[in-house]
Amino acid sequence: MADAPYAVLLLAYGAPLSLDEVEPYLLDVRGGRPTPRDLVEDLRSRYAAIGGRSPLLDRTREQADALGMRLGNRIPVLVGMRHWRPYIKEVLAGAAARGICRVVAVAMAPHYSRLSIGAYQHKVDEARGPVEVAFVPQWFDHPRFLDAVVERVRAALERFPRQVRDQVPIVFTAHSLPERILADGDPYRDQLRASVAGVMTRLGAANAHEFAFQSAGRSSESWLGPDAGAVLDRLVSQGASHLLVCPIGFVADHLEVLYDVDVELRGRTRELGARLERTDSLNADPLLIEALADLVTATAGTRGWGP
C-alpha cells in the first residue's frame, strides 16, 4: 500500500448498524448533546422499518471496491464516515501507519454546501496528520454522473403503463438544509438545479418535472423548500395518478431513501389514491464509478501524483 502513488478516501455521513447503535450515533451527530427520548425512539422505529440497520456502509464499501477495480487495483480505496464507524480520523490514522502519505478524498455527495461537503473537509483537515490530502469539492455536473441518473430515470419510467409514461411527473429531491445557508451565497441549491437541468436535457422526454427538498431536520429554524411531500400532494390534487421521485442528491441506499421516500412518501401518495415509484439508487453503478475514477485521477494529476 505504501508503494502506491496515493490512496483514495470515500467519505459518507455514517449510520447505525443496529438498533442499539441509534442512540450513540445520535449523540455523535449532535456533538455530544443528549437526544430527547421521543426522537431516539422515532429514529429507531424508522430503522426497524428498513430492516434494523442502514446499508450505507455496505453500499459505500461496494463503491470503494468497484472504484479500486476501475483504477486497476493499483490504488488503495478506503472508506471513512463522518459520524460513525469507521470514523474518518481512524481511517486516516491507519493509512498513515501503513505508510500512505497522499490521499484523494471524495465525499459521496455531488453537491457542495459548507454544511455538507464543507463539514467533510473540516473533518479531514482535523484528522489528516502527516497525510497530504487533495479534496474533490463537488461533482454535480460530471457527465457520467448525469448519464447514470438518466439511465435510472428511464428504467423507472418503464415500470409505468406505456400509455402514461410521458405524462408521469418527475420530482427530483435532495436533503434539505437550513435556509440560512442562502444568505452566505452557498451554492447547494443552484448546483442541484443545474444537475436536474443536465438530466432533463439528456433525457429528452416530455415529462413535467419539479425539484423539492426532503428529510428536513426537526428544529425551529426554516429549512429549504419546497417540501417533497407538499409537492406530491399538489401534483395529485392537480390530477396526477402516477408519480416518479428521483432522489438526485443521494448516491447510495440509506434511511433518507429507504424510509423517507419508500415508506413515508410512498405511503402518503398511496393514501391519496396515486402510485409513486422511485429511481433505483446509483450505489456501485458503472457510470458513477467511471465518474469517480475520472475525478480521482484528474485531482491527483493536479498535484503531480501518478503511477
Give the pLDDT confidence of 245-293 residue by residue, as tens digits.
Answer: 999 999 999 999 999 999 999 999 999 999 999 999 999 999 999 999 9
Q: Are 72 and 3 in contact (CB under 8 A)?
A: no
Predicted TM-score (pTM) of the model is 0.97
User: Stretch 48-77: mean pLDDT, rounded?
Assistant: 97
pLDDT of the residue at 1:
53
For 97-135, the pLDDT digits (tens) are 999 999 999 999 999 999 999 999 999 999 999 999 999
Cβ within 8 Å of residue 231, ≥6 positions away: 171, 210, 212
Which long-range contacts does 49-52 make (Cβ < 8 Å, 24+ apart)? 49/259, 49/263, 50/255, 50/258, 50/259, 50/262, 50/263, 52/18, 52/19
pLDDT of the residue at 2:
61
Task: With both helix axes pointing from N to C terminus, report the angle between 286-302 and 143-157 in degrees, rounded to the nearest 10.
Answer: 170
Residue 138 exposure: Cα atoms within 13 Å on the Cβ side: 18
Q: How far apart are CA 118 and CA 105, in angstroms?
A: 12
Q: Using pLDDT thresholds of 50, 70 and 90, give the confidence band for residue 73.
A: confident
Q: How far apart are CA 8 and CA 102, in angstroms?
A: 9
Percent of the chain with pLDDT strictly greater than 70: 99
Q: Which domains does the chain have, with CATH numbers?
A: 7-139+285-302 (3.40.50.1400), 143-278 (3.40.50.1400)
Strands 132-136 and 209-214: unpaired
Instruction: Choose among 225, 228, 221: nearest CA to 244.
Output: 228
